Amino acid sequence: MDITIYSLPTCEFCNLTKEYFNGKKIPFIEVNVSADQKAQREMLEKSGQFSVPVVDINGYVVVGYQRHIFDQLLNSNALEF
């Protein structure tokens, strides 16, 4: 399973998102977009937004802390893990 979380260190919803995945013991890659312009462009290309967090779960992009959507994607048979 490939999960990337684009975030800012001071973002409350970014921290909630990381806590969600840590709590489920699901590994992810964290990308701090405040320190990396290339990552900012990548996030914008994937989501069309500058809002954080942006979570890429196996190519499914979710903007914001959307726990119910995370649950659906992680439990979906449509995703190949």
In this prediction, residues 32-43 reach a mean pLDDT of 94
Does some domain include residue 80? no
Does some domain include residue 48? yes
The answer, yes or no, to whether residue 32 has pLDDT greater than 90, is: yes
pLDDT tens for each residue of 45-73: 999 999 999 999 999 999 999 999 999 99
Domain count, the chain: 1
| CATH number of the domain that residue 38 is part of | 3.40.30.10
What distances in angstroms separate CA 29 from CA 16, 70, 72, one per listed residue?
15, 16, 20
Does some domain include residue 81? no
Per the structure, the complete domain to which residue 37 belongs is given by 3-75
